[in-house]
Amino acid sequence: MSFETILFYLFAAVTVFAALRVITARNPLHAVLFLVLAFVSSAGIWLLLEAEFLAITLVLVYVGAVMVLFLFVVMMLDINLEQLRKGFWQWLPVGALLAALIVVQMVWVLGDNSNTNGLTAIKHAADYSNTKELGRLIYTDYVYPFELAAVLLLVAMVAAIALTFRRRRDVKAQDISKQVSVRREDRVRLVTTPAVMKQQSDERRVTDRRNAD
Amino acid sequence: MMELLQTLQLLGQDLLGAAWMPVWTVIKIMLIVLPIMGTVAYLTLMERKVLGFMQIRPGPNRVGYWGLLQPVADGIKLLTKEFIIPNGSNKFLFVAAPVLALTPALAAWAVIPFDDGMTLANVNAGMLYLIAMTSLGVYGIIIAGWASNSKYAFLGALRSAAQIVSYELAMGFALVCVLLAAQSMNFGDIVRGQSHGNGMLGWYWIPLFPMFIVYFLAGVAETNRAPFDLAEDESAIVAGFHTEYSGMGFAIFFLAEYANMILIAALTSVMFLGGWLPPFDIAPLNQIPGLIWMIGKMSVMLFIFLWFRATFPRYRYDQLMRLGWKVFIPLTLIWVVVVAAWMQTPYWLW
């Protein structure tokens, strides 16, 4: 068994274990962290397939950004575990059926390896850049599907913002442009107060100060 | 020097055979990590000295001559202090959080070139790897905040998470500009791409000047340094995410923060300030080894980090978010288009 095979089985075992713990962990925060582990180890498997761009993007986008926001939300939620567990046995048959369906489909699609039998992937030279090739393909052969996907994402983003954005009228927000355009003259006023002699009466001091103001 | 290295390699291969490769890699890792740790220790001294001089006071000067043993004393103090795990905290995550903060901060150094060819992993997707590693650092902070079971720590963690996710975007776009200019994601090639012009005029800080500024400021925000240190805002939330950490736990967060600072300084030098290249390609300057130039540029950027801390008051949280989303991200997006268009014209000189 080569070193790469050992690595593959290691990553695969960690991925499967982490994925199992995602659905069995009691604490939802632990579930999210196990999901992170599953992502990282599947990125490791992709690296073994020389798909370094996809692997690093998986870590960057899912682990570095999406899961951080997941953690953020899960930490803020007040989750009642009892309530979550209540319908478990009732919904188990439906879930099991769906899971079985997915397994059958996956076996159907992936199990048929007659056309890849006996073929091994060709190793690329060290200077082969997966990223460059991917970029070239996306922007030449697949430019329309790629643009379409981009537009789809843009629409989704606009929709999400439109759904959640509301302007509240009862809050006083600071107008930053007003704040930064304030000059010294607007806030500070220098006044010269004449030195006050000790023997002056209190009355005169008051009038002096008024004049100065 | 090169001959010495080669004899060492041959000797090692004779001695250990196939096992030499991992051993040699571990030696190289040690050669990177140990100096970083030393630099972190003395960066804390430099910070206190610089802050002291800027505030017209001597700074630490009791331990050792000119305070030079102060980091050692601090290290001993932190090592011997008790590591307290608060009641009601999640013990495993509480202990794991500092490790999660430090690991990506050190792992990112694998792709940094210190001199021509002097890098641990000369990978083509170096820049992508680096963005991925720096984006993982936030986990240590969030998990620390949550596992502490403390309101201040939690507030600090939430602030930090939002801040890092926001500034990562601007940072990513600034890196896209560098990627466009260098046409490579390999850091070695990025530096070599800056060697065509006349010394420092060929570096990317000129065509990418707004990106240079944005990248460095976003780096200051990513490392939770003043004036963007909202995550450990001591006047409002005690010490933020590491309120509950004592002893070594605190020390490791400290190490991670300073290792990240040095990393940002190294990256700014590599991508915008020509890495190991001398500022002018003339006789006495290009005789100096590239490593010295690299360290010199990093030191200047680190000094600017400390200078910021001594100069600017802390941002308010809404101001921080406004700067990230409404100033940096539009600016970087526009500059990506400007650079891409500029490169199609004959006026692109880099």
ipTM of the complex, rounded to two decimals: 0.79
Contacts of residue A65 in chain B, CB cutoff 8 Å? Answer: 135, 165, 168
DSSP string, B229-243: -GGG-TTTSTTGGGT
For testing the chain A interface, which of B124, B180, B241 should be mutated: the one with the most A CBs within 10 Å?
A: B124
Residue B152 has pLDDT above 70, yes or no: yes
Q: What is the pLDDT of residue B13?
A: 74
Nearest beta carbon to residue A64 from set B132, B158, B162: B132
Flag if B158 and A129 touch (Cβ within 8 Å). Answer: no
Q: What is the pLDDT of residue A118?
A: 55
Flag if B125 and A71 touch (Cβ within 8 Å). Answer: no
Q: Does B318 touch chain A (CB under 8 A)?
A: yes
Q: Does A68 touch chain B (CB under 8 A)?
A: yes
What is the rounded distance in angstroms from the CA atom of residue A133 to the CA atom of residue B110?
24
What is the rounded distance in angstroms from the CA atom of residue A62 to the CA atom of residue A70?
10
What is the rounded distance in angstroms from the CA atom of residue B315 to the CA atom of residue B309?
12
Q: What is the pLDDT of residues B108-128, one digit of tens each?
A: 888 888 887 777 777 777 888
Q: What percent of chain B has pLDDT over 70?
A: 99
Q: What is the pLDDT of residues B63-94, one digit of tens each?
A: 888 888 888 888 888 888 888 888 877 888 88
Question: By the 8 A CB rule, do B312 and B306 touch?
Answer: no
Q: What is the pLDDT of residue A101?
A: 93
What is the rounded distance in angstroms from the CA atom of residue B183 to the CA atom of residue A12?
35
Q: How many CB atoms lie within 10 A of CB B133?
A: 23
* CA-based nearest distance A99→chain B, Å: 31
Q: Does A150 touch chain B (CB under 8 A)?
A: no
Contacts of residue B161 in chain A, CB cutoff 8 Å? Answer: 68, 71-72
What is the rounded distance in angstroms from the CA atom of residue B182 to the CA atom of residue B190?
5
| Mean residue pLDDT across chain B | 84
Residue B31 has pLDDT above 60, yes or no: yes
Q: Mean of the pLDDT values across residues B135-150? A: 85
Nearest beta carbon to residue B124 from set A60, A63, A131: A131
Q: What is the pLDDT of residue A120?
A: 62
Q: What is the pLDDT of residues B273-306, one digit of tens each?
A: 888 888 877 777 777 787 888 888 899 999 998 9
* CA-based nearest distance A72→chain B, Å: 7
Q: Mean of the pLDDT values across residues B245-273? A: 88
pLDDT higher at B118 or B256? B256
Q: How far apart are the first and last CA of chain A?
A: 91
Q: What is the pLDDT of residue A199?
A: 60
The 10 Å CB-count burial string (b at 16+, else e) for A143-174 is: eeeeeeeeeeeeeeeeeeeeeeeeeeeeeeee
Report, as ranges of residue numbers, the positions in chain A whose pLDDT lies below 70.
1, 80-82, 84, 112-127, 197-213
- The closest of B195, B257, B196, B254 to B222, measured between CA atoms, is B257
pTM score, two decimals?
0.82
Strand partners, B118: B115
Distances, alpha carbon B163 to alpha carbons A68, B213, B227, in Å: 11, 18, 13
Q: What is the pLDDT of residue A152?
A: 95
Nearest beta carbon to residue B161 from set A59, A68, A130: A68
Contacts of residue A70 in chain B, CB cutoff 8 Å? Answer: none
Contacts of residue B138 in chain A, CB cutoff 8 Å? Answer: 64, 68
* Chain B residue whose CA is closest to A59: B132
Within B201-325, where are the H helices? 209-222, 247-272, 283-287, 290-311, 317-322
Identity of the amino acid at B332: T
Q: What is the pLDDT of residue A202?
A: 58
Q: Which helix (H) or strand (E) holds B60?
A: none
Q: What is the pLDDT of residues B196-207, one digit of tens each?
A: 777 777 888 888
Flag if A59 and B136 touch (Cβ within 8 Å). Answer: yes
Q: What is the pLDDT of residue A119?
A: 58
